[in-house]
Structure 1
Amino acid sequence: MRTTAASLAAPLLLAASAHALPELSISKRDAKLATSNVARGLVKRGGTVGTNVFDILTYSTGGAYYANVTIGTPPQDQVVILDTGSSDLYFDASTAAACEATGPYSCRGGTFTPKDSSSYTIVDASPAFNTSFGDGSTAVGPFAEDIVGIGNVRISNVQFGVAETVNSTTGYAIGLMGLGYSENEATTHIYPNMPEVLRDTGVINSRLYSVFLNDVGETSGTILFGGIDTTKYTGELATLDILPDVITGAVDQFITTVTSLSATIAGNTTSLFTGGTNSIAAYGNSDVALPVLLDTGSSAWSVPTTYYDDFIAPLFTYIDQDGYCSCSHQDDADSVTLTFGAKLNITVPAREFIIPVYNATTDDPLPYGDGTQACAFMIVAAEPTGEGFQTLGDAMLRSMYIVFDLDNGQLALAQAAVNSTARPSVVTVSAGPSGIASAISTAYSGAPTNTWSIAPEVQNATASFSVSTAQSTIGTATGTAALPADAQISSGGETGSASSSGSSATTTKKGGAAGLVVPGVEWSGVWVTGTAVMMAALGAGLMM
């Protein structure tokens, strides 16, 4: 979901934000799916589906994590933002004015042409899909149904929005795959979104998926529906109950608490705050714990201004008043350690939250005042949202392996095994409250059943799904091969070629915050022209 930190209270109709994701690569399904049924094009129940996720820094301020999917018959390639902070699936129409234009607010990553799909049908005419975001961006059009391809499956009658009119205010317009609870969709008639579609078709057992963004220096990460890859994390996998939304009183967003925070600077470790509860008491001013939304659609960690002024700024003295520093500090051994729910510690090294800044038009690095490259500090101060929580974005999530368990209203977290070269070891998670515990044999800490009301899956859906294996896998290319052609950057600044099927590609800049303004530097191609606005934008997801 796209918002700015100045208006981080979530979109008018959606409940979270969308931002950068590394390669959205879906892992192979469980081996038991390789049956005679699959040979006939059908998918047996109870497996997993995965695909790669990738980070394209030049597409939005601060970057974003994307995935390759297809839509229609014959399939049309699309790039979508992978967003745990919103719930709708939608694609930009090729006829939208923004998609026929050029410039930093035009469409990128593929557009959808309904007339070229023989399987396309309109479910609810425009403006049934009508969503507004906190940064002023909008998307309007009809709701439709068609065949969606992801990983090695193609699913018919999947509902999605078609943005016939799209207005992006903070970067390129790109389609979106919202993975939150369907209750937060931008419609009065909620529909099964991707976690529910995969569950309803029997491809996976329950509304559960795992996200691994990988190190900031890597282009590729993964999302795995229906299972857990035990090679993608180290130590204990710990489960926490999701907190209910302070407004709705139900579990319908991925909110947990940071109950302690420490920082290690120049070899010295300082406890910044500790205590508080992993309960609704954390929403109160007297509780020190910070409620946070785990949002792959946001680039930065937004913290209350008082916490930033009292705890962060005094220690990170090399960060200037505008939120910048020399990129030489990426190599410092500094880090922060967050404790989630008084149960699990996650350590985040400085390189994950001190991010290079590039010019949005030329892709050239921006200089800092001392002649080195400029970096942005991805822990930002933010005003209250009115919802009781702030967003915890990719700068922190890259160091975490996260299992989003929608059915049970829980999150399972562990320290990410970034840059692991281990061969994937995928376990399928069965339905029910003991699904994760049954799948993980060692180093697992469970949690009691969440007693708060959990947003249910869509009932009495009008669509009748069918699923088949794709003729070739969709979106499982890794590295720069996963990036769309117009996102390829060669060392000489020329564009290379790539596709979701995994063609070769040139190297690309990664790990940076694109399109930002550094004090004292003028670039005609920069999207955001005010430092305060820029730092606000870093606090949340910016792309549709």
Structure 2
Amino acid sequence: MLSTPLTAVLALATLSSASVLPNTKRDAILKLPVTTVNQTCPLTKRQDLVDLANTQTGTRYLISFSIGTPEQTVKVAIDTGSSDTWVNPTCSTSGGTADTALCNSLPVFQPGSSSTLQDTGVPMNLAYGRGTAQGEYYKDTLVLGGSTVTGQQFGVATSTSDLPNGFMGVGPGIELTGYPTIIDTLATEGITQSRAFSLDLRGVDSTTGSIIFGGIDTMKYTGVLEKRPIIPAALAPDNFDRYWIYMSSVGITKPGAAPKTYPAPSNPAGQPVFLDSGGTLSRLPTTLFNAILADFPTATADPAGSGIYEVPCSVAAEDGTMDFGFGNTVVHVPFHEFIWQAGTNLCALGVVADDSSFVLGDSFLRAAYVVYDQDNQNLLVANAADCGTNLVAISKGVDAVPSITGACGGSSTSSSSSTTPTTTPSSSTSSKPTVSTSSSTRYSNSTTTPTYPSSTTAPTYPSSTLSTVYSTTTYTVSSCAPTVTNCPYGHLTTETISLYTTYCPVEATYTPVAATYTPIAIAFTPVAVAFTPVAVTYAPVPTTYGPIQSIVYVTTTYTISSCAASVEHCPYGSTTTETYATYTHVAPTGTASVYPYVTPTGTGSVYPYATASSKGQEYTGGAGKVVGGAGMLMLVGLAGLALL
């Protein structure tokens, strides 16, 4: 969700925090639906002075799964910009009216209702581009689309701000967090063959997309999957482990005009960009942004100074594209996808200027099909499309992601056509594997009701009921066309999609509960203290002091736990100590008179004094604030672009 780099405290669990247990489902592919929630604010052209940043993120991409025993369904936002999964945002501080309504409509996880929940005792402190979350890490059983992972660590928030939903972070895993994330555990427990997934957000007119753990869908993109190496942290703009890749070009194709390419970046490798599904807008260097802005002469700056530029909504209807190049592949983003529908008759460019954090957010990802290969440190990019469904597993090794050309035609525009799988005879020459299917429909109802402390009066609050209908289809691959390499013959794949979700407000009734409080008497016994006067004769003592230099040093000890794949002779386990001076203070020279301290005389009563317990140290510095005990400084990746 972040759109700017931040530092957060991530309390580390041991590397074995997720139990490694055999799983009865060996599908190698896990596809989950991603539901879009369009949050446009009620702004109009007559309300231009309202800060566009108050509209929050515009479109959120939510994913459902279950936690605990018995299962409790939760719904969180999918986020390639962070790595932690957590639930239970605080709705009263979630943001504006639209965010509060969204937060109240989502189910709440009740930790006390799960018999398999394990409390790690490790605090959770996360900071995003806009918003924070504090709570504690737990472990429990998670069910994702019919596949079960055990002992998975996740966070349960107790206090959040400006965040209407939790997150499933699918950024870099254990190397960054110190504990196995969901992607790590799926591979460890054999549900997927490698730590890789593909993301298909679809266009603004589509209500569903998908995330496929351990697989790709060759009927959701056109052309080839362009392989782009992830930029190592040491070479990344912010020196953090994120999904950084080099973008080779940016251009525009206006209606009826020839394609135009903007000046190339000074770096021969290209412009570094970070792909973040949690951010509505993209962020590019000022020079490049100004070149783009010049091609939208009707754009006007937001008077509130958010950096967002308004454009007439008619621009979104024009037949033009923004063109983003990656090697031999150019992703064409239609104006319809690139322009942000921020409110009623209020639209904005899908990009802002930023010289510190370069992000391709949803204004780009809606038109792209992206495969995130953590094991091989690659991203693979293609133009998104939709001409059906054909799931192919991602295997292991250097060429784990299949080199299959997209089955759709040349159109790069996403559509909302049906993705119902079809059965083809074994003699077919299609590149789509032959499958036999069985399907079932599952109904899931969840009721969201707020919890309030006991009181003598209990008001009535509205609650909501979410009813989701799922369709589950099981595929068994029986044959492949000659063009398919590494045919997954005999593999069983289960696909679960949500057919529709209904939201109904329900009036909840609460029975008053009388609270009884018993006073506790506390008695203090005075202690008599007598003071004897002491006669003191003294004279001032001249004291001369010279310059005093005070130097404060900080010593940090590092233990190397892992190295990037490119590092030879990794000094694993070695310990390095670094000492450096933080600041030096010099006191001036002067003369002063020193007088002895006179002991007071008298009598009085002394009462016991209770020492307050310490909450912990605070560290303020860098790009965020760290509060907590003996944890390690870790990174939480970018996540929420339009949270400006």
TM-score class, shorter-chain normalisation, is 0.5 to 0.7
Secondary structure in structure 1 of the residue aligned to 2:219: helix
Confirm or deny that 1:110 pairs with 2:107.
Answer: yes
Confirm or deny that 1:158 pairs with 2:144.
Answer: no
Q: Which has the higher strand share?
A: 2
TM-score using structure 1 length: 0.66
Q: What's 1:173 paired with?
A: 164
* Aligned amino acid, residue 227 of structure 1: G
Measured on the aligned residues, the alpha-carbon RMSD in Å equals 3.5
Confirm or deny that 1:263 pairs with 2:260.
Answer: no
After superposition, the Cα gap between the structure-2 partners of 1:267 and 1:441, relative to the gap in structure 1 and judged at 3 Å, is closer
Deviation of residue 61 (structure 1)? 2.8
Q: What's 1:134 paired with?
A: 129
Bigger CA radius of gyration: 2
After superposition, the Cα gap between the structure-2 partners of 1:291 and 1:484, relative to the gap in structure 1 and judged at 3 Å, is farther
TM-score using structure 2 length: 0.57
* Aligned amino acid, residue 426 of structure 1: L
Alignment partner of 1:124 out of 82, 104, 121: 121
Secondary structure in structure 2 of the residue aligned to 1:329: helix
Larger RCO, structures 1/2 (Cα 8 Å, 6+ apart): 1
Deviation of residue 425 (structure 1)? 0.7
- Tell me, which stretches of 5 or more residues in structure 1 are unaligned? 15-40, 277-284, 359-364, 366-372, 444-470, 487-494, 509-537
* Aligned amino acid, residue 331 of structure 1: A
Secondary structure in structure 2 of the residue aligned to 1:64: strand
Tell me if the contact between 2:468 and 2:502 (Cα under 8 Å) persists in the aligned partners. Answer: no
Q: What's 2:366 paired with?
A: 398
| CA distance, structure 1, for counterparts of residue 284 and residue 94 of structure 2 | 38
Q: State which drifts further: 285-294 or 248-257.
A: 248-257
Q: What's 1:149 paired with?
A: 143
Q: What's 2:321 paired with?
A: 335
Output one character per residue of 1:347-372: Cα deviation in whole Å (capped at 9) or x when no partner: 110000112223xxxxxx2xxxxxxx
Tell me if the contact between 2:133 and 2:161 (Cα under 8 Å) persists in the aligned partners. Answer: yes
Secondary structure in structure 1 of the residue aligned to 2:5: coil
1:50-65 equivalence runs, <5 A = 50-58=31-39, 60-65=56-61
| CA distance, structure 2, for counterparts of residue 101 and residue 286 of structure 1 | 39
Deviation of residue 43 (structure 1)? 2.8
Confirm or deny that 1:351 pairs with 2:336.
Answer: yes
Q: What's 2:69 paired with?
A: 73
Confirm or deny that 1:91 pairs with 2:87.
Answer: yes
Output one character per residue of 1:187-242: Cα deviation in whole Å (capped at 9) or x when no partner: 6xx21111111101101100010111111111111110111110001111221111
What is the number of residues matched between the two proteins?
A: 402
Tell me if the contact between 1:85 and 1:297 (Cα under 8 Å) persists in the aligned partners. Answer: yes
1:222-241 equivalence runs, <5 A = 222-241=210-229
| CA distance, structure 2, for counterparts of residue 251 and residue 270 of structure 1 | 34
Confirm or deny that 1:317 pairs with 2:317.
Answer: no
Q: State which drifts further: 240-249 or 261-270.
A: 240-249
After superposition, the Cα gap between the structure-2 partners of 1:394 and 1:97, relative to the gap in structure 1 and judged at 3 Å, is closer
Q: Which has the higher helix share?
A: 1
| CA distance, structure 2, for counterparts of residue 272 and residue 156 of structure 1 | 50
* Aligned amino acid, residue 124 of structure 1: G
| CA distance, structure 2, for counterparts of residue 102 and residue 505 of structure 1 | 23
Confirm or deny that 1:407 pairs with 2:387.
Answer: no
Q: What's 2:545 paired with?
A: none
Output one character per residue of 1:50-91: Cα deviation in whole Å (capped at 9) or x when no partner: 111122123943222111111111211211110111100111
1:388-467 equivalence runs, <5 A = 390-417=358-385, 420-422=386-388, 424-437=389-402, 440=404
Q: State which drifts further: 71-80 or 345-354.
A: 71-80
Q: What's 2:180 paired with?
A: 192
1:469-484 equivalence runs, <5 A = none
Tell me if the contact between 2:249 and 2:270 (Cα under 8 Å) persists in the aligned partners. Answer: yes
After superposition, the Cα gap between the structure-2 partners of 1:47 and 1:270, relative to the gap in structure 1 and judged at 3 Å, is closer
Q: What's 1:541 paired with?
A: 641
Output one character per residue of 1:462-494: Cα deviation in whole Å (capped at 9) or x when no partner: xxxxxxxxx9888xx9xxx999999xxxxxxxx
| CA distance, structure 2, for counterparts of residue 484 and residue 270 of structure 1 | 52
After superposition, the Cα gap between the structure-2 partners of 1:11 and 1:173, relative to the gap in structure 1 and judged at 3 Å, is farther
| CA distance, structure 2, for counterparts of residue 75 and residue 101 of structure 1 | 29
After superposition, the Cα gap between the structure-2 partners of 1:10 and 1:270, relative to the gap in structure 1 and judged at 3 Å, is farther
* Aligned amino acid, residue 71 of structure 2: P
Q: What's 1:289 paired with?
A: 270
Tell me if the contact between 1:48 and 1:204 (Cα under 8 Å) persists in the aligned partners. Answer: yes
Percent identical residues: 29
Q: What's 2:312 paired with?
A: 326
Tell me if the contact between 2:222 and 2:382 (Cα under 8 Å) persists in the aligned partners. Answer: yes
After superposition, the Cα gap between the structure-2 partners of 1:393 and 1:116, relative to the gap in structure 1 and judged at 3 Å, is same
| CA distance, structure 1, for counterparts of residue 446 and residue 111 of structure 2 | 24
Secondary structure in structure 1 of the residue aligned to 2:336: helix
